[in-house]
Amino acid sequence: MSTIIDGKAVSLQIKEELKEKIAAIKAEGKRLPCLAVIIVGDNPASRSYVRGKIKAAEFTGMDSRLIELPEDVSEAALLETIAGLNADAGVDGILVQLPLPRHIDESRVIDAIVPEKDVDGFHPVNVANLWLGRKCFVPCTPQGIIHLIESTGERIEGKRAVVVGRSNIVGKPVAKLLLDRNATVTIAHSRTPDLGAVTREADILVAAVGRAGVITGDMVKPGAIVIDVGINRTADGHLTGDVDFASASEVAGWITPVPGGVGPMTIACLMLNTYSAWCAISER
Ligand code: NDP
């Protein structure tokens, strides 16, 4: 039976540490870090994610602004809102909750956020800097995954890591972060033949697919660290991961639950990035 990696506990520790730092900033009478979150429309999942982000900001004591725009807002109006936040010296981090309605070009929106306030780490300048090994905002979910792996106390260096999924927001950046820590990394995807043969090689297995139960216990190397990024909704409305927890937890050494694994870490790392943005602005 494997040890559960408690994302709630690890994320709480990060937020508690931030809370102390922000209390110190307040005590010095300085301007507090501020995260601006833009949400377009009424997508219930997006609303719930945004609520979680604002709640976390409140928990740490940082300022936040929630900007709610209607589903039919024009792309031009959204870009204008972003331009206003870019120019606003009281805002350190800007996040536009994705996905956006179809009439809005997501790339244009991401590109419009100044890289210095792009706390999601999605702007091409931050992506390029990540791959060049330069200072950047590391995207929140991949950053959170690394924290979770490190929380096991196991070394990443020298391990075989397999990342299933090659999206720009999870698969590719987490593979780069693992590579930076000297893992030997394989990225698998929907065209990978015999996925199980690949995943069984993994000392560290990251599943970022978006399909419930795509990773089963027989695809896990005994003792492996298994990080389940997937958020899938079952027919009865429950959340479940990409990993079949019952069978995989019989084989893995460590495993993250869904919910309560990667999800809370994404939010905690958003807070870390906002604090870093504040530090960079304050140092200027
Ligand atoms: P994408 O849909 O962008 O990417 C999914 C990836 O999985 C693709 O690379 C795809 O391959 C691959 N894939 C699909 N089917 C298979 C298969 N049968 N076998 C192997 N690989 C497959 O998803 P995201 O990366 O955005 O998200 C992945 C999951 O993580 C989702 O459930 C999402 O909700 C969740 N998520 C959770 C977060 C959190 O905070 N916990 C944050 C972000 C995402 P190909 O490229 O060939 O199509």
Residue from 140, 163, 167, 186 whose mutation best tests the ligand 1 pocket (most atoms within 8 A of CB): 167
What pLDDT, on a 0 to 100 scale, did the predictor assign at position 283? 75
Catalogue all structural domains in the chain, each as residue range(s) with its CATH number.
29-114 (3.40.50.10860), 140-263 (3.40.50.720)
Q: Which residue has the tokens 């429950």?
A: 238
In contact, 138 and 177? CB cutoff 8 Å: yes
Q: Is 120 exposed, middle or buried (0-12, 13-18, 19+ CB in 10 A)?
A: buried
Strands 63-69 and 34-40 come out as parallel
What pLDDT, on a 0 to 100 scale, did the predictor assign at position 18? 98
What pLDDT, on a 0 to 100 scale, did the predictor assign at position 281? 87
Q: Which of 53, 172, 176, 221 is catalytic?
A: 53
Candidates 177, 165, 139, 186; CA nearest to 229 is 165
Q: Is 280 exposed, middle or buried (0-12, 13-18, 19+ CB in 10 A)?
A: middle
Take residue 230 and report the two structure tokens written for it: 């997937």
Active site (annotated) includes residue 143: no
Strands 232-233 and 239-240 come out as antiparallel
Cα–Cα distance, 202 to 192 (Å, whole number): 15
> Phi then psi for 38, rounded to 5 degrees?
-105, 130
Going across the sheet that includes 93-96, the strands are 63-69, 34-40, 93-96
Q: How many residues does the chain have?
A: 284
pTM of the model: 0.98
Could you list the pLDDT tens digit for every one of the 284 residues in the chain?
899 999 999 999 999 999 999 999 999 999 999 999 999 999 999 999 999 999 999 999 999 999 999 999 999 999 999 999 999 999 999 999 999 999 999 999 999 999 999 999 999 999 999 999 999 999 999 999 999 999 999 999 999 999 999 999 999 999 999 999 999 999 999 999 999 999 999 999 999 999 999 999 999 999 999 999 999 999 998 999 999 999 999 999 999 999 999 999 999 999 999 999 999 988 76
Query: Which residues sit with their C-beta closer than 6 Å to ligand 1?
Result: 141, 164-167, 169-171, 188-192, 195, 208-211, 214, 229-232, 262-263, 266
